[in-house]
Amino acid sequence: MFLAIDVGNTNVHIGLSADLSSPWTRTFRFSSARDRTADEWHALLDAHFEHLSCRDCQITMCSVVPAITQSLTEYVRQRFETQPLVVSANLPLGIDVATDQPFETGTDRLTNAVAVDARYGRPAIMVDFGTATKVDALDRNGRFLGGAIATGLGVSMDALASRASRLYAVPIEIPRNAIGRNTTSAIQAGVVLGHLKMVEGLVDMARDELGGCETVILTGGNGALFANHSTALGPYEPNLTLDGLRVITRRQQAVSEI
């Protein structure tokens, strides 16, 4: 069995498949509680893994939350009697990390680039609509150049509602018009439609800096909302990070067998 774990700032996304070549048999999410202990992970996860043998499971994780990396690693050691493979810039990713500080670059961003490179080729632009919205670039030589990081859509909505006494959270939907005729549609125009236009602008600039790029892949919790609302943005891949973890595991396994 193969277990992929993507630890984000809002959710821990987990995928389970029969092996490194099979489709995901199940994916599920848990909140990213930073104070959750290994024992609490046992209580949450053990029921989902009752059929898994300790000896037959490969586990790979990428994380942007060190506290959860530690508690989940401890859980994996206890439950599966193995050490998870934790993604870093020094693994055989199949791409070059060309940022100024490779080991400070979010491993979720690198993992998404690996997945897109393996499936769609290069150059490519990855847009991750998570807690932060990230627009990242992979050039035609397979170099991960970096990208742009902005406040995520949900965070923007929450901040507006909490800081403006007469405004409130509204459904996260793309309105038809930029001119809102009531408070709800005005907030949706400013926050949601405005977020889309920001991303489109960043994608256009990244495309120019790459010297052209046809591949723009979306992922992240709010990615589905925007997938069919812009000719500048490509398909939505909800399991993109999990797919990248599988590719990285294959490459690490190939290196280990040499």
**Residue 256: predicted pLDDT:** 81
* Overall average pLDDT of the 176-182 stretch: 96
The two tokens of residue 164 are 């403006």
* Overall average pLDDT of the 17-39 stretch: 95
Which residues are CB-contacts of 60 (< 8 A; sequence separation ≥ 6)? 2, 3, 4, 5, 84, 85, 86, 87, 245, 246, 248, 249, 252
Give pLDDT tens digits for 189-247.
Answer: 999 999 999 999 999 999 999 999 999 999 999 999 999 889 899 999 999 999 999 99
**Residue 258: predicted pLDDT:** 65
**108 part of the active site:** yes
The type of residue at 146 is: G
The runs of H, that is alpha helices, within the chain are 38-45, 66-80, 107-120, 153-163, 183-187, 194-210, 223-226, 240-257
Kindly tell me if the per-residue pLDDT of 165 is higher than 80: no
Kindly tell me if the per-residue pLDDT of 60 is higher than 90: yes
**Residue 241: predicted pLDDT:** 98
pLDDT-based confidence at 26, cuts 50/70/90? Answer: very high
**Residue 161: predicted pLDDT:** 84
**Residue 39: predicted pLDDT:** 96
Give pLDDT tens digits for 10-25.
Answer: 999 999 999 999 999 9
pTM for this prediction = 0.95
Backbone angles phi, psi at 74, to 5 degrees: -65, -40
The two tokens of residue 202 are 């960043």
Which of 151, 154, 146, 148 shows the shortest CA–CA distance to 222? 154
pLDDT-based confidence at 54, cuts 50/70/90? Answer: low
Region for 44 from its dihedrals, namely left if φ exceeds 0, alpha if ψ lies in -120 to 50, beta otherwise: alpha
Give pLDDT tens digits for 106-156.
Answer: 999 999 999 999 999 999 999 999 999 999 999 999 999 999 999 999 999
Candidate list 6, 96, 108, 208, residue with the active-site label: 108
Q: Which domains does the chain have, with CATH numbers?
A: 2-86 (3.30.420.40), 96-243 (3.30.420.40)
The strand pair at 143-151 and 11-17 is best described as: unpaired
Q: What is the mean pLDDT of the chain?
A: 94
Q: Quick one: CA dihedral 203, 209, 215, 221, positive or negative? A: negative
> Counting runs of H as helices and runs of E as strands, what totals does the chain give?
8, 10
